[in-house]
Amino acid sequence: MSEKKELLKVENLCTDLITARGLYHAVRGISFQVHEGEILGIVGESGCGKSMTVKSILRLNQEDKTFYKGKVFYWKGTGRKNLLELSRKEMSRLRGREIAMVSQNPMAAFDPLYTVGEQISEMLRFHKGMNREEAQAETERLLEMVGIFPGAKRSRQYPHEFSGGMLQRAAIAMMISCGPRLLIADEPTTALDVTMQAQILEILRELKEKMGMSILLITHNFGVVSEICSRVCVMYAGQVVESGTVEEIFKNPVHPYTRALLRGIPRKGREGRQLETIPGAPPRLNQEIRGCGFAPRCPLAKESCYHKMPEPWEAQGHWSSCPGQFCQVLESGEEEEKICG
Amino acid sequence: MDEYLLEIRNLKKYYPSGKNQVKALDGVNLKVKPGELVSIVGESGCGKSTLARCVIGLETRTEGEIWFHGEEISSYGKKQMRPVRKQMQMVFQSPYAAFNPRQTLGAGLREVGKFYGMKTGEIRDRISVLMSYIKMDEELLSHYPHELSGGQLQRLAIARALMVKPELLIADEPVSALDVSVQAQILNILAEIREKENMAVLFISHDLAVVEHISDWVAVMYLGKTVEEGRKEDVFSQPFHPYTDALLASRPREYPWQEKSSIMLKGELPNALNLPEGCRFWPRCLHSQAGLCDKCEPEWNQQENGHRAVCHLVETLGKTERRVS
């Protein structure tokens, strides 16, 4: 793991937002790294701060109402830069060219008044200084690369003439047009059918394999993670609670939250049985958290968990903010009850 | 006739579009037994939601029959539908849109009871039963919708639909907008209520894992038509129709160490304005045979346990082993 080169390293990032209803702690000290040429998945439930994290990395929040703490390092050439310290101008040169982002709603990525081709060409002309003809040719090539044929005709169409899945693919084409080294995909398949999801995931996999692109994939779907990610971070209440290779997390989840989430998924061979649910609700964003944020919902919580974070657990690249005492031994729910009770 | 609670016969719904027609439903047949959970799966745009809306009367069908409890209800007006709706209720995808933001949740629930002529005492008792089903505190009923989370609201939406003890619940993508842990809650609750109230459910979803988890019977829709139906275990373990096969294969794998499936469905649903000739799936089908599939429309091919599909090739493909187990 350590021989791989880091591309992005987030260290203890906190994002606080000033809102009409007070201060919101959207991200509460998150740390993770993305290595070159890997797909890192970030999973978590809605409101856990996944999207806020990527928005903070790209600094897309309203600047005067947002406070950042911590560091976001990005490696470029020989040195690394802290993105939170860059000027606005430097930041805007970086977006699209070095780090690009695909969002959940492809409709929002395109201006309805311009053709899809014009908007992709614009990227190429702005960032790469191509002329009109070059940009058009490149646009057609990109569209066909993501499976939109014929590129020439399709590039002259408007966003409303595309279906959701096709538009999402066009958004990916637009985002990779300048050859970014890091692609951030924020729930890219959530609004789509399984069949289209499979196609989009295939495109992402190809980008990684053929162009060596690193991808940071935000999702709430463990199926998507198991399909294409190499490593995964599980987020809860603005923090990473567990991280490791996908195999490790699926085989030996350590954190009680991860374990509960995985058990809540309907799976083959367990049809008709009760699915595990997590009692209670995640902490509110404006709430201060003392100790472990998951403690009030945790079946293993001890008195001390409410005051201070438990000692993290780590083994061979697999990290969890909680050792989850009994994890390694147990597989069946019954035994767990016995020990906890 | 009496064996089935709901029977849909050759249901068609066309929407005019310029000189043409969009064939949202193009001859759907479906039967639901009392107490059974029937799922309808398919890609978006295949007509799943239109079907649900036609059944409950939110859309008027163009052609076809809908039999409910031995009554043909498809031509009923608003007034005639009222007693029918007492036995047939619906839950929608977005719980946020389902409640009146200016009304407390309790008032919303009570209103339904009053509308269907329940007495105040009855309403109170029913609400407390329902709140125990959905495992929520009655205190929450004095709150307004914006104070609750999506999962809580969806549970209340289910409770509201059950106020009048319907025999059929139509659930249109009730868990697609929710997180995994919340989804699990809703599915558990649905399963439990179904058992306690002996209620049939018409469950509409595009999430195959969810469908496999809770259904008894599954119908697969493609472009306004059911292309395969059967018992859940039959459809999932031995799909007949190449479309079902492809749909199942496009699921993301459950565990990262499983093998990746190799069949992929290319492209997307063709335009419903302009349906392909012959079998409507042939342009995307891996097995389509020129001269057969693109010329004549296939018929239902029935196998054991009522498992059937509309495909010319059921016999030829029937015994191929599925690649993903």
> For chain B, what percent of residues have pLDDT higher than 70?
95
Would you state the pLDDT for residue A240?
A: 95
Region label for A70, one of left (φ > 0), alpha (ψ between -120 and 50) or beta (otherwise) = left
Provide the β-strand partners of residue A24: A17
pLDDT at B320 over 80: no
In chain A, what residues touch B322 (CB-CB under 8 Å)? none
Measure in Å the smallest separation between the Cα of A284 and chain B Cα atoms: 11
Please write the tens of the pLDDT for every residue from B61-113: 999 999 999 899 998 988 999 999 999 999 998 898 999 999 999 999 999 99
Interacting residues of A157 by C-beta distance below 8 A, sequence separation 6+: A115, A116, A117
In chain B, what residues touch A280 (CB-CB under 8 Å)? none
How far is residue A173 CA from its own chain's centroid? 19
Query: Cβ of A161 under 8 Å from any chain B Cβ?
Result: no
Candidates A164, A117, A119, A157; CA nearest to A137 is: A117
Q: In what helix (H) or strand (E) does residue A89 lie, and over which residues does it extend?
A: helix A88-94
Please write the tens of the pLDDT for every residue from B33-70: 999 999 999 988 889 999 999 999 999 999 999 999 98
Domain locations along chain A: 255-340
**Distance spanning both ends of chain B, measured CA to CA:** 37
Question: How far is it, in rounded angstroms, from Cα B200 to Cα A274?
Answer: 19
- Contacts across the A-B interface (CB distance below 8 Å): 114
Question: How far is it, in rounded angstroms, from Cα B177 to Cα A134?
Answer: 42
Please write the tens of the pLDDT for every residue from B121-150: 999 999 999 999 998 999 999 999 998 888
Contact A307/A290 with Cβ under 8 angstroms? yes
Buried b / exposed e over B22-38, threshold 16 CB at 10 Å, is: bbbbbebbbbbeebbbb
Decide if B152 is inside a domain. no
Cβ-defined contact of B265 to A275 (cutoff 8 Å):
no
What φ, ψ does residue A283 adopt, rounded to 5°? Answer: -60, 150
Per-residue pLDDT of chain A in tens (341 residues, 90 and over written 9): 445 789 999 999 999 999 888 899 999 999 999 999 999 999 998 889 999 999 999 999 998 999 999 999 999 877 899 999 999 999 988 998 899 999 888 888 999 999 999 999 999 998 889 999 999 999 999 999 998 989 999 999 999 999 888 999 999 999 999 999 999 999 998 878 888 899 999 999 999 999 999 999 999 999 999 999 999 999 999 999 999 999 999 999 999 999 999 989 988 877 778 888 888 888 888 888 989 999 999 988 889 999 999 999 998 889 999 988 654 444 444 444 333 32
Decide if B289 is inside a domain. yes
Decide if B104 is inside a domain. no
Would you state the pLDDT for residue B319?
A: 53
Return the structure tokens found at A193.
């059918």
Question: How far is it, in rounded angstroms, from Cα A283 to Cα A44?
Answer: 13
> For chain B, what percent of residues have pLDDT higher than 90?
62
Note down the domain range covering B11: 6-87+164-317
Query: Cβ of A194 under 8 Å from any chain B Cβ?
Result: yes
Could you tell me the pLDDT band of residue B323, with boundaries at 50, 70 and 90?
very low
Interacting residues of A287 by C-beta distance below 8 A, sequence separation 6+: A25
Would you state the pLDDT for residue A326?
A: 53
Residue of A nearest to B215 (CA): A272
Return the structure tokens found at B48.
């799943």
Inter-helix orientation angle A116-128/A132-145, to 10°: 120
DSSP 3-state assignment of A279?
Answer: coil
Decide if B171 is inside a domain. yes
Q: In what helix (H) or strand (E) does residue A82 lie, and over which residues does it extend?
A: strand A79-82
**Residue A172: count of CB within 10 angstroms of its CB:** 24
pLDDT at B318 over 80: no
Would you state the pLDDT for residue B263?
A: 67
Question: How far is it, in rounded angstroms, from Cα A257 to Cα A295?
Answer: 10
**Number of domains forming the structure of chain B:** 1
Sign of CA dihedral A236, A238, A239, A240: positive
Residue of A nearest to B232 (CA): A271
Contact B221/B191 with Cβ under 8 angstroms? no
Would you state the pLDDT for residue B324?
A: 37
pLDDT at B317 over 80: no
Residue of A nearest to B244 (CA): A195
Cis peptide bond prior to B34, omega within 30° of 0: no
**Residue B122: count of CB within 10 angstroms of its CB:** 12
Return the structure tokens found at B238.
């031995």
Would you state the pLDDT for residue B189?
A: 92
Measure in Å the smallest separation between the Cα of B8 and chain A Cα atoms: 26
How many angstroms separate the Cα of B319 from the Cα of each of A53, A291, B308, B313, B315? 49, 57, 14, 11, 8
Query: Cβ of A276 under 8 Å from any chain B Cβ?
Result: yes
Decide if B140 is inside a domain. no
What ipTM goes with this model?
0.81
Cβ-defined contact of B180 to A45 (cutoff 8 Å):
yes
In chain B, what residues touch A226 (CB-CB under 8 Å)? 252-256, 258
Cβ-defined contact of A247 to B208 (cutoff 8 Å):
no
Q: On the CB side of B53, how many CA atoms lie within 13 Å of its CA? A: 16
Residue of A nearest to B267 (CA): A196
pTM (two decimals): 0.86
Decide if B64 is inside a domain. yes
Would you state the pLDDT for residue A120?
A: 95
Would you state the pLDDT for residue A1?
A: 45
What φ, ψ does residue A255 adopt, rounded to 5°? Answer: -70, 135
Give the total residue count for chain B: 325
Would you state the pLDDT for residue A58?
A: 94
CATH number at B35 reads 3.40.50.300
